[in-house]
Structure 1
Amino acid sequence: MSEELRCPWSINDPFELEYHDAEWCVPSRDDTYLFEMLNLEGAQAGLSWRLILHKRKAYQEAFFHFDIDKCALLTDDELATIVEEAAIVKNRLKVKAVRTNALATQKVQAEFGSFANYIWGFTNNERIINEWQGMGEVPASTELSEKISKDLKKRGFKFVGPVIIYSYLQAIGILDDHLRSCPFHTFNREATK
């Protein structure tokens, strides 16, 4: 497949290319994956997504492949060890946020039955399939990402600002922000089935 047809952000790095082709904007309702992406998007704050993708395996190893219950039980000492020893971004607040977010996720799961029920509930389980022509059209945040961000913060989640949440909605497939010309846009995928 010709790389120049893909979304331009994805073609200069093999990790980004693989993520773009296999995961980005693909709908997921798996709580572990939703939790992983929430924390990885938070880890990216102020940094590049490419950096986080390159460190993703180390994040998975450090945080039990983002097992929510295990992350909720992490002690302060274990978190300090992760900061010191894991090949991840060395930001204590972001590392501590994984435990905080795990505890908040457990409460959401108890209330809604799953984290997926909660997060997909903001769009009544519907995807938003955009038809952007160029990357300059894609917003950094929207009313939806601001609404979700506000609710997540109210529930105790950390590193969940509206820009992070907009990227998160792309990551978990609630949004399809592939350019309309990209072969991985929903309408193009359906046309090749």
Structure 2
Amino acid sequence: MDLKSLFHYEYKSKRTCYGIPLVHIHFGRGPYVAKGIIAIGNIAVGVLSIGIIALGGLCLGALTLGLISFAGLALGLLLAVGGVAVGSLSIGGLALGIVAIGGFAAGLFSFGGFAVASHIAIGGYASGHIAIGDTAKGAYTLAIQDNDFSSIKAEQVRELINQEYPNLWKPFADRIVSFFD
């Protein structure tokens, strides 16, 4: 038995869906690819994919690209969660997206330690059209007192959002205002 086969495993279910295996597990030393509805491997491609590199619907791994991604480097069309997260809704140490939450967050709406946004930024350092934080820079700014976000009144935030973004989706605006209740 050679060393390469000692560190190689593959399982492919006999059950398929439109010719794609229901489960495909394929890993070892080298660029082994698993393709299935449920794919687990060095490189995984599937509806549910788990691997060092994962592509598909719901992805978990070191580097992922999918609808919903959880990884060290996560790229998600809908949701990305990871050390570096890029997606519509991104959560991570470095978060880039429409709604970004993280240590360094950049997007349309950003929340975090260092928040930069085109619309609303809330955080320790906030830069945006509406900026709320310890250090706030923007067209409209609200500075918090003594690191206490409750020093800003929710109604004040609601009025500012309604004034500047009257067509903002109400449940989202209410969620932002709830930080200050």
TM-score by length of 1: 0.26
Greater per-residue strand proportion: 2
**1 or 2, which has the higher helix percentage?**
1
Structure with the bigger RCO (C-alpha within 8 Å, sep 6+) is: 1
Instruction: Determine which structure has more spread, i.e. the larger CA radius of gyration.
Output: 2
TM-score normalised by structure 2 residue count: 0.27
